[in-house]
Amino acid sequence: MNIKLATATLGAALILAASPAFAADMQSSPIQITNVSLYGGYTINPNDDNVITPGSAVIAFTNQYNLPATEVVFALESNGFVADRFDDVGSFAKGVTIKHTFGENELNSQMRVAVEKATFADGSVWVNHAVPQSTKPDLTIGVAVNGPF
Protein backbone atom coordinates (compact mmCIF):
# COMPACT_ATOMS: atom_id res chain seq x y z
CA MET A 1 0.00 0.00 0.00
CA ASN A 2 1.50 3.35 -0.91
CA ILE A 3 2.09 5.92 1.82
CA LYS A 4 -0.19 8.62 0.34
CA LEU A 5 -3.14 6.22 0.12
CA ALA A 6 -2.54 4.96 3.66
CA THR A 7 -2.19 8.51 4.99
CA ALA A 8 -5.35 9.72 3.22
CA THR A 9 -7.40 6.76 4.44
CA LEU A 10 -6.13 7.06 8.00
CA GLY A 11 -6.68 10.82 8.00
CA ALA A 12 -10.29 10.41 6.84
CA ALA A 13 -10.94 7.76 9.49
CA LEU A 14 -9.46 9.92 12.25
CA ILE A 15 -11.47 12.96 11.20
CA LEU A 16 -14.67 10.94 11.22
CA ALA A 17 -13.95 9.27 14.53
CA ALA A 18 -13.22 12.60 16.19
CA SER A 19 -16.04 14.61 14.56
CA PRO A 20 -19.18 15.21 16.56
CA ALA A 21 -22.27 13.93 14.82
CA PHE A 22 -24.09 16.65 12.93
CA ALA A 23 -27.20 16.16 15.02
CA ALA A 24 -27.34 18.93 17.60
CA ASP A 25 -28.81 16.74 20.35
CA MET A 26 -26.93 13.54 19.56
CA GLN A 27 -26.37 12.68 23.23
CA SER A 28 -30.13 12.33 23.77
CA SER A 29 -30.31 9.58 21.14
CA PRO A 30 -31.19 6.11 22.41
CA ILE A 31 -28.61 4.78 19.92
CA GLN A 32 -25.05 5.92 20.57
CA ILE A 33 -22.45 5.77 17.80
CA THR A 34 -19.23 4.60 19.41
CA ASN A 35 -16.93 4.54 16.37
CA VAL A 36 -16.90 5.29 12.64
CA SER A 37 -14.15 4.22 10.23
CA LEU A 38 -13.89 4.84 6.49
CA TYR A 39 -12.05 2.74 3.96
CA GLY A 40 -11.51 3.60 0.30
CA GLY A 41 -13.18 6.58 -1.36
CA TYR A 42 -11.40 9.54 -2.95
CA THR A 43 -7.59 9.47 -2.84
CA ILE A 44 -4.59 10.64 -4.83
CA ASN A 45 -2.08 8.06 -6.10
CA PRO A 46 1.73 8.57 -6.39
CA ASN A 47 1.27 10.16 -9.84
CA ASP A 48 -1.09 12.76 -8.31
CA ASP A 49 -4.03 11.24 -10.18
CA ASN A 50 -7.44 11.42 -8.56
CA VAL A 51 -8.59 7.89 -7.74
CA ILE A 52 -11.98 6.77 -6.50
CA THR A 53 -11.91 3.27 -5.04
CA PRO A 54 -14.90 1.32 -3.77
CA GLY A 55 -15.22 2.11 -0.12
CA SER A 56 -17.02 1.22 3.04
CA ALA A 57 -18.14 2.85 6.23
CA VAL A 58 -17.82 0.79 9.40
CA ILE A 59 -20.20 2.01 12.11
CA ALA A 60 -20.14 0.73 15.69
CA PHE A 61 -23.14 1.61 17.84
CA THR A 62 -24.84 0.70 21.12
CA ASN A 63 -28.55 0.65 21.93
CA GLN A 64 -29.14 2.51 25.21
CA TYR A 65 -32.94 2.03 25.21
CA ASN A 66 -34.66 -0.50 27.50
CA LEU A 67 -36.02 -2.54 24.57
CA PRO A 68 -34.21 -4.09 21.61
CA ALA A 69 -33.93 -1.89 18.55
CA THR A 70 -35.28 -3.53 15.38
CA GLU A 71 -34.15 -0.90 12.88
CA VAL A 72 -31.55 1.86 12.97
CA VAL A 73 -31.15 4.37 10.13
CA PHE A 74 -27.81 6.17 9.84
CA ALA A 75 -27.38 9.35 7.80
CA LEU A 76 -24.03 10.24 6.20
CA GLU A 77 -23.56 14.00 5.86
CA SER A 78 -20.99 15.83 3.80
CA ASN A 79 -20.75 19.60 3.43
CA GLY A 80 -24.21 20.16 4.92
CA PHE A 81 -26.07 17.60 2.80
CA VAL A 82 -27.13 14.02 3.49
CA ALA A 83 -25.08 12.01 1.00
CA ASP A 84 -26.46 8.57 1.89
CA ARG A 85 -28.49 6.61 4.42
CA PHE A 86 -27.88 3.12 5.80
CA ASP A 87 -30.82 1.11 7.10
CA ASP A 88 -29.68 -1.54 9.60
CA VAL A 89 -32.37 -4.10 10.46
CA GLY A 90 -32.06 -6.77 13.13
CA SER A 91 -32.43 -7.21 16.86
CA PHE A 92 -30.03 -4.93 18.75
CA ALA A 93 -30.13 -5.56 22.52
CA LYS A 94 -29.50 -2.89 25.12
CA GLY A 95 -25.85 -2.35 25.98
CA VAL A 96 -24.42 -4.56 23.23
CA THR A 97 -22.01 -2.90 20.80
CA ILE A 98 -22.90 -3.67 17.18
CA LYS A 99 -20.36 -3.16 14.39
CA HIS A 100 -21.58 -3.26 10.79
CA THR A 101 -19.96 -2.41 7.47
CA PHE A 102 -21.85 -0.59 4.72
CA GLY A 103 -20.65 -0.12 1.12
CA GLU A 104 -20.25 3.55 0.15
CA ASN A 105 -18.60 5.07 -2.91
CA GLU A 106 -18.94 8.76 -2.01
CA LEU A 107 -16.61 8.78 1.00
CA ASN A 108 -14.57 11.88 1.78
CA SER A 109 -12.77 13.36 4.77
CA GLN A 110 -15.62 15.81 5.47
CA MET A 111 -18.20 13.05 6.00
CA ARG A 112 -19.98 12.70 9.35
CA VAL A 113 -22.49 10.12 10.60
CA ALA A 114 -25.59 10.47 12.78
CA VAL A 115 -28.50 8.28 13.83
CA GLU A 116 -31.51 9.50 11.87
CA LYS A 117 -34.14 7.13 13.24
CA ALA A 118 -34.49 4.11 15.52
CA THR A 119 -37.42 1.70 15.80
CA PHE A 120 -37.83 -0.53 18.85
CA ALA A 121 -39.44 -3.92 19.55
CA ASP A 122 -42.59 -2.31 21.00
CA GLY A 123 -43.11 -0.30 17.79
CA SER A 124 -41.96 3.01 19.26
CA VAL A 125 -39.86 5.21 16.97
CA TRP A 126 -37.24 7.82 17.87
CA VAL A 127 -36.52 10.41 15.15
CA ASN A 128 -33.57 12.79 15.10
CA HIS A 129 -35.18 16.01 13.85
CA ALA A 130 -31.74 17.59 13.25
CA VAL A 131 -31.25 15.26 10.24
CA PRO A 132 -33.12 16.30 7.08
CA GLN A 133 -35.79 13.70 6.37
CA SER A 134 -35.88 11.70 3.17
CA THR A 135 -37.82 13.15 0.29
CA LYS A 136 -39.49 11.21 -2.48
CA PRO A 137 -37.86 11.59 -5.90
CA ASP A 138 -39.61 13.97 -8.29
CA LEU A 139 -40.32 11.75 -11.29
CA THR A 140 -41.51 14.68 -13.39
CA ILE A 141 -37.96 16.04 -13.74
CA GLY A 142 -35.57 14.83 -16.40
CA VAL A 143 -35.77 12.29 -19.17
CA ALA A 144 -36.05 8.54 -18.61
CA VAL A 145 -33.13 6.42 -19.84
CA ASN A 146 -33.92 3.91 -22.56
CA GLY A 147 -31.91 1.43 -24.52
CA PRO A 148 -29.32 -1.27 -23.93
CA PHE A 149 -27.06 -1.05 -20.97
User: What does the alpha-carbon distance between residue 60 and residue 16 come to, in Å, rounded to a whole number?
Assistant: 12
Contact assessment for residue 8 and residue 81, using Cβ atoms and an 8 Å cutoff: no
The residue that leads in pLDDT, 90 or 43, is: 90
**pLDDT at residue 89 in the model:** 95
Can you say whether the dihedral through the CA atoms of 19, 22, 24, 26 is positive or negative? negative
Residue 58: strand pairing partners? 37, 101
Full DSSP string of 66-107: SS-EEEEEEEEEETTEEEEEEEEEEEE-BT-EEEEEEEES--
Q: What is this structure's pTM?
A: 0.65
Which domains, and CATH codes, for the chain?
A: 3-127 (2.60.40)
Dump pLDDT digits (tens) for 58-114. 899 999 999 999 999 999 887 778 888 889 999 999 999 999 888 776 666 677 889
**Average confidence score pLDDT of the chain:** 74
**pLDDT at residue 54 in the model:** 63
**pLDDT at residue 74 in the model:** 93
